[in-house]
Each structure stands twice: as structure tokens, then as C-alpha cells.
Structure 1
Amino acid sequence: MKSYFSSERIRLRAMEPEDLEVMYAMENDPLTWDVTNFTVPYSKFVLKQYIENSECDMFADRQLRMMIVRSEDDVVVGTIDITEFVPMHSRGEVGIAIRREYQGNGYAKEALNLLCDYAFGFLHLKQLIVHIATDNEASMRLFESCGFVPCGLLKEWWCTGGTFKDVALLQRLR
């Protein structure tokens, strides 16, 4: 039977209390704030509550966050999310973050393919979207390689370091 949550090198799993330190470090990395809409650091208390209160049910939480875990040693290499889930329209927005020391190893592509298989094959979503700064060539390549196609351009959408950036909207339809 096909597993929606594992490939040869990684597996996706629900958040666990022991993920607090990794999530704290990732969420409080100012280099990622330009794509998250966060303006202040998260406290460990807030993240602990988030982990504890998540039902890990996309229909209840209106979002799904899963940890990307390397199979060979159980190291958390990143997170992948479906946010802005709208059941009525059968769509959600994808977000992915790979810890800096694990970037460039193909983990993001494997995780994104697993998430898409789950979203379309099991949850029967109609579409997934993603917002990507047009100068983020690596993310553009990643999402396009996983079947996402550009469908719009948002001019001066994100402000980073006092400069406004254009953002591409990509979508993948079932």
C-alpha cells in the first residue's frame, strides 16, 4: 500500500513536543521573515501552545503542519505546511522551510511531492497555491519541477529590508 508520508530518504510526520527547539530556531530566523508576515520573534511558550493545541486535522485547524524528517537518522530537516485551507473551494496554500544546513539536498522536492500526493490523492483537494518572491529562483525551480505553474504576478507585494518585491503566484490543479 502506498504511503503518503514517506519516500526513500524522508518522511512527513505530525509535530511532537520534542520539536519545540527546532521550531523555535526556525521560526525565529530573521532571514525567513520576509516570506512569513512575521514581525516579531515567537516565544517558546507560544510555540509550545501551538504544538499542544494543534489537532493535526486540517479540517479542524484550517491548516496542516508536518515535520520533514530524514529517515536515516530521524533528524528534522524542515517543515511543510498547508495554510489558508478553504474546504468550500477545496484549496490551500503551501509553505515549506528547510533548515539552512540541510538545503540543497533535494529534501524540499521529496517533501513537496509527498504533500501534493496526499493533498490530491487522499484529501481530494482541487488546487494548491504558493506565493514566491520573483527573485527566489531556487523556490521557483522547486515548485515548477513539482507541477506548479505561474498564474499571476503581484507587484511590490512583500516588503523586505525596506524594498518592495514582486511575488509570483503559482498553482497546481488536480
Structure 2
Amino acid sequence: MKTEKRIRLRAPEPEDLDVLLSIENDEKLWEVGTATGPYSRYQMKRYLAEMQNDIYIDRQLRLMIQHETAGVAGIIDLCIFDPRHSRAEVGLVVREDMRRQGVAREALEMLERHCFGLLGIHQLYAYVPRQNTPSLALFRSAGYAEVAVLKDWVKTGSKFQDAVLFQKINSIRGTD
């Protein structure tokens, strides 16, 4: 799939505060993340002010998915960055009204080019709950290998569900 360049990835700005709060405080997303409660406006302002947006300093990289006409379409993150083993976990969320339009796929491709080309990261991975069929389809179509099924990995309500571990190895750099 050729990138249509409808989006660009950019660093978060102070003006993104309300968008970040709406995503971070969306209770439906807490079940697949690590949040245990809402963030305050003050906490998010501090986060924006203090982060360097340098994966080697922050051990994470948060990028806004900026759509050419619709504004901020979502967020794509690298987290759990391990410089020694040259790997990072991918997380992304797209606004509900922007889903199923190729935005996530385009953002993921851009992130991969940045990680594999500029940063020289060896591998990216993602945990996707088995019930999240759109995300499963995204990572499969983007060439991520399904390397494991993790039993009872994600707690939703009072029940646990399996998650699929996806992995993509940097083919630009090759292996050592």
C-alpha cells in the first residue's frame, strides 16, 4: 500500500491538551492500557511541558497523528523502549470518527520508517486483545508476525481475555 500522505506525525503541542485528555481519559481505552484512572488537566500540562519527546531520554515517543483536513486524528506511541535489545512496543488510537479510513495503517507505516530507518530500532511489537478484530487486521496487514497468544493477558471488567503478540523485525537494517 502506497502512503497517500493524508497525515503526518508530529510532536505533541500544548494546544493538544484537550485532545490528549479526551483520549487518556476515555474509560473504554483503559482496559487495553495500563491507566488505572483519569489524568488531571494539571498532570497532562506537566507531561507536555516536561517530556523531551526523545525516545532515548523519555524511553517512549508519543506522536500526534495530524490529518490534513480533520486535525488530530489520533496518537501513536512507542513505549517500553529497550535500547539494549533495540525494541519498542507500539500503541495507537484513532478517533472513532476517523477509523476504517486507513489512518492507523498510514501512521503505522510512517512510524516504522522512522524507527527502522532513522532510529535503527531492530524490532517493534504490539499486544492486541483477541476481541479487537480491527487492530488484529491492522497488524496482520502491516506485515507483523503473530508470534504468541498470551492467555488471560488483558482484564476487561471481571474477566480475562487472550492477547496476540505481534512482532515486526527491521528488514532495512538486517540482522547482526
| Band of TM-score, shorter chain | over 0.9
Corresponding residue for residue 160 of structure 2: 164
Query: Which aligned segments of 4 or more residues in structure 1 are displaced greater than 4 angstroms?
Result: none
Taking structure 2 as the reference length, what is the TM-score of the superposition? 0.93
Match of 1:34 in 2: 31
Taking only aligned residues, the RMSD between alpha carbons, in angstroms, comes to 1.1
1:41-56 to structure 2, matched below 5 A, reads 41-56=38-53
Report matched runs for 1:57-68 at 5 Å.
57-68=54-65
Matching of residue 105 in structure 1 with residue 101 in structure 2: yes
Please tell me the residue identity of whatever aligns with 1:47: M
Distance 1:7 1:66 in 2: 19
What is the identity, as a one-letter code, of the residue corresponding to 2:61?
L
SS in 1 for 2:63: strand
Asked if 1:22 corresponds to 2:27, the answer is: no
Instruction: Give aligned-pair identity as a percent.
Output: 42
- 2:123 counterpart residue number: 127
Letter of the 1:90 partner, please give it: S
List alignment gaps of at least 5 residues for structure 1: 1-5
Q: Which of the residues 136, 139, 143 maps onto 2:135?
A: 139
Superposed CA deviations along residues 25-66 of structure 1, whole A, max 9, x for unmatched, are 111111111111212111111111111111011100000000
Write the letter of the residue equivalent to 2:111.
L
Q: Deviations over 1:145-167 (max 9, x none)?
A: 11111001110011111110101
Q: Is the CA contact 1:62–1:86 (under 8 Å) kept in the aligned structure 2?
A: yes
* Selected match of 1:86 from 76, 82, 85: 82
Mark the runs of 5 or more structure 2 residues left unpaired by the alignment.
171-176
Q: Is the 8 A contact 1:90 1:126 kept in 2?
A: yes
2: CA distance between counterparts of 1:155 and 1:146?
24
TM-score normalised by structure 1 residue count: 0.94
Cα gap change, 1:55/1:7 in structure 2, threshold over 3 Å: closer, same or farther? farther
CA distance in 2, matches of 1:54, 1:144: 32
